[in-house]
């Protein structure tokens, strides 16, 4: 898992906040929907109180806090307070459909926080601003954005770190919208409930050198790049500063997204890194750099990136799939 590095974060958050809070033509905002619910339920004091509480926390307060742009830690704290205060009310029946389906106030909030009306909150435009090209959960699949909110093409999916069914009032919160591939979001995570105590949040941190890919040999033939002679595993890094709680949270992510199983399907890629580590020793790297210095390569790291065909510094992991695997295995083999 890799950290999401945002460019021009303040402008991005302002864009998202304004997009949710300011009316475009005749379209209703979340606050408009909440005010309508208040008008219809004036006699229900607790319900009106809940809707007003949400309005107060959607609009920025004097400190600039709003659940639309609040940090992951602030969202974690808010949902605990909100559930303690209104949890029972949220699970009260709102209405029963003609088919007999029971709709709760929690279900209704998911309509009020209109996540699935992607055009209204400009999901494509926000995706372009986030600019993540590779899924941060798996670092395996490209998530390029092609098209826009008017002419649809393709974009990454938004995973809700805090499940939107359970916490619908966070459905449009920026830091609860994790850019991800379809495999991670829909096939693996689905409605599984994450929280900051038991999972790693990619807007906060990635695995970096705390959790690393490693080769686990089965026999000596692994040194020749024979993929049947080893397995790929994820382990706590030798220089890791994470405590057991944080490591356990990382492995909860690893288990959810089945990273160990998936990465053992990429052994052909690791085979090549093993062979390159034998061919491209430090003398050869230095020789290539001296030969093409100033033309093809600015430094020896450029040579290594060329040899490996991938990025090897953490801040560039989001540019190309399998970059963290490349960096970790190359370090283990002494290639970088």
* CB 251 within 8 Å of CB 200: no
Give the DSSP letter of residue 62.
T
Q: How far apart are CA 6 and CA 28, in angstroms?
A: 29
- Comparing C-alpha atoms, which of 132, 201, 214 is closest to residue 170? 201
Please state whether the predicted TM-score (pTM) of the whole model is above 0.85: yes
Average pLDDT value over all residues in the chain: 94
Residue 25 has pLDDT above 80, yes or no: no
SS (H, E, C) 301-331: HHHHHHHHCCCCCHHHHHHCCCHHHHHHHHH
Instruction: Please list, in sequence order, all residues whose beta carbon lies within 8 angstroms of the beta carbon of residue 18, skipping any fewer than 6 positions away.
Output: none
Percent of the chain with pLDDT over 70: 100
**Helix extents (H) in 103-187:** 105-112, 123-130, 182
- Measured CA to CA in angstroms, residue 302 lies from 148, 181, 260, 321, 332 at distances of 34, 29, 29, 18, 19
3-state DSSP call for residue 129? helix
Give the DSSP letter of residue 27.
P
Whole-number pLDDT of residue 54? 98
The predicted model gives 132-149 an average pLDDT of 96
Residue 199 has pLDDT above 80, yes or no: yes
The predicted model gives 57-73 an average pLDDT of 96
């Amino acid at each position: 898992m890799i950290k999401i590095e945002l460019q021009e974060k303040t402008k991005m958050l302002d864009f998202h906040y304004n997009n949710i809070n300011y009316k475009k033509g005749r379209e209703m905002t979340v606050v408009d929907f909440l005010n309508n619910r208040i008008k219809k339920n004036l006699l229900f004091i607790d319900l009106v109180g809940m809707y007003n509480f949400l309005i107060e926390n959607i609009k920025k307060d004097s400190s600039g806090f709003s659940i639309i742009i609040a940090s992951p830690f602030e969202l974690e704290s808010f949902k605990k307070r909100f559930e303690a205060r209104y949890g029972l009310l949220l699970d009260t029946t709102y209405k029963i459909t003609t088919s007999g389906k029971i709709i709760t106030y929690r279900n209704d909030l998911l309509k009020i926080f209109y996540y699935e009306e992607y055009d209204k909150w400009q999901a494509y435009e926000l995706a372009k601003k986030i600019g993540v090209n590779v899924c941060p959960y798996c670092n395996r699949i490209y998530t390029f954005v092609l098209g826009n909110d008017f002419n649809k093409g393709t974009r990454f999916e938004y995973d809700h770190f805090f499940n939107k069914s359970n916490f619908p009032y966070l459905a449009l919160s920026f830091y609860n919208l994790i850019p991800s591939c379809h495999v991670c979001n829909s096939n693996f995570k689905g409605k599984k409930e994450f929280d900051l105590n038991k999972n790693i949040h990619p807007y906060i941190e990635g695995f970096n050198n705390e959790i690393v890919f490693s080769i686990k040999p089965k026999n000596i033939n692994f040194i020749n790049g024979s993929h049947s002679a080893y397995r790929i595993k994820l382990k706590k890094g030798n220089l890791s500063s994470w405590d057991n709680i944080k490591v356990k949270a990382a492995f909860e992510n690893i288990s959810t997204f089945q990273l160990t199983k998936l990465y053992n399907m990429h052994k052909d890629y690791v085979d090549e890194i093993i062979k390159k580590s034998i061919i491209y020793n430090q003398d050869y790297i230095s020789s290539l750099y001296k030969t093409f210095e100033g033309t093809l390569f600015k430094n020896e790291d450029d040579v290594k990136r060329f040899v490996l065909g991938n990025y090897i510094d953490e801040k560039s992991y989001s540019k190309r799939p399998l970059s963290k695997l490349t960096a970790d295995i190359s370090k283990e083999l002494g290639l970088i």
